């Protein structure tokens, strides 16, 4: 089975205040942590890094100097779903499975990647996710209406792996035209595909805020 890893690093970093994926964490650009794990796993026929349109020539030079031909580069679109779609469409023809990961999750492990891939043997796709530990409330206008049964609640992480042909079909559907998604599983779910959950790891958190950045620094101490 041909496999492509897609690392998304095209975000603007609006909530963080800058493009955090290129900010150095302990002397190393954030995106390199994920990129190195996927390359060293030796599980993939290709590794694609999705980069922003701005400063692309500088980024291309840096990637080529550091990784040579080990990494293929794709320019991102105006939002996440367009960026991922661009990457999938530019993957090599023999690819059967695409594995998508956020560059802002630096502590991904080979073990989680392998579990996510294996789960696709009996499904259309698989996602890494965590169950919440806190009590979950549903509210309207800040008024609590009920407590949610958290045994059925999962917080999605990445990587997320999908059959390449099926996710391309999903992107080509009319449903996609009006849908704004925050992860690829949302699109696949909408169209009725079977997506399996693989229990994740709390260390595989996403760096979104400055507090998250401080947490990542502490993990590397």
SS (H, E, C) 37-86: HHHHHCCCCEEEEEECCCCHHHHHHHHHHHHHHHCEEEECCCCHHHHHHH
Task: Tell whether omega for the bond before 159 is within 30 degrees of 0, i.e. cis.
Answer: yes
Identify the residue with better confidence: 34 or 82: 34
77-124: pLDDT as tens digits: 888 888 999 999 999 999 999 999 999 999 999 999 999 999 999 999
Q: What is the pLDDT of residue 80?
A: 87
Q: What is the pLDDT of residue 208?
A: 92
Rounded Cα distance between 74 and 79, Å, is 14
Q: Whole domain around residue 178: which residue ranges?
A: 2-219
Q: What is the pLDDT of residue 173?
A: 82
State yes or no: pLDDT of 14 exceeds 80.
Answer: no
Pairing mode of beta strands 143-148, 136-140: antiparallel
Pairing mode of beta strands 95-102, 125-130: unpaired
Q: Which of 6-15, 18-27, 151-160 has the highest mean pLDDT?
A: 151-160
User: What's the domain count of the chain?
Assistant: 1
- CATH number for 183: 3.90.550.10
* Residue 207 pLDDT level (bands cut at 50, 70, 90): very high
Rounded Cα distance between 49 and 68, Å, is 13
Q: Is 116 helix (H, G, I), strand (E, B) or coil?
A: helix
The string of DSSP codes covering 124-165 is: SEEEEEE---S-EEEEETTEEEEEE-GGG--EEEEEEEEEHH
Lowest-confidence segment of 34-38, 62-66, 170-174, 177-181 by average pLDDT: 177-181
- Segment 189-201 shows an average pLDDT of 95
Tokens found for residue 139 = 């509210």
Q: What is the pLDDT of residue 19?
A: 76
Task: Work out the mean pLDDT of the chain and round it to a whole number.
Answer: 93
Q: Are 200 and 108 in contact (CB under 8 A)?
A: no
Give CA angle at 52 (106, 85), nearest 5°: 85
């Amino acid at each position: 089975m041909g496999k492509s890893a897609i690392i998304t690093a095209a975000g603007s970093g609006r909530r963080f205040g800058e493009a955090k994926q290129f900010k150095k964490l302990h002397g190393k650009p954030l995106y390199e942590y994920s990129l190195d794990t996927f390359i060293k796993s030796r599980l993939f026929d290709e590794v694609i890094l999705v980069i922003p349109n701005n400063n692309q020539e500088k980024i291309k030079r840096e990637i080529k100097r550091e990784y040579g031909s080990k990494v293929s580069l794709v320019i991102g679109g105006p939002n996440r779903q367009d960026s991922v779609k661009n990457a999938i469409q530019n993957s090599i023809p023999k690819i059967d499975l695409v594995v998508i990961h956020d560059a802002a999750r630096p502590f991904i492990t080979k073990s989680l990647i392998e579990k996510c891939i294996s789960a696709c043997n009996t499904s259309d796709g698989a996602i890494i996710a965590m169950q919440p530990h806190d009590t979950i409330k549903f509210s309207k206008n800040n008024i609590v209406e009920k407590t949610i049964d958290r045994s059925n609640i999962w917080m999605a992480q990445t990587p997320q792996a999908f059959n390449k042909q099926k996710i391309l079909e999903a992107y080509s559907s009319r449903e996609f035209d009006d849908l704004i998604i925050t992860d690829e599983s949302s699109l696949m779910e909408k169209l009725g595909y079977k997506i399996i959950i693989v229990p994740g790891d709390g260390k595989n958190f996403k760096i979104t805020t400055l507090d998250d950045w401080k947490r990542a620094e502490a993990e590397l101490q």
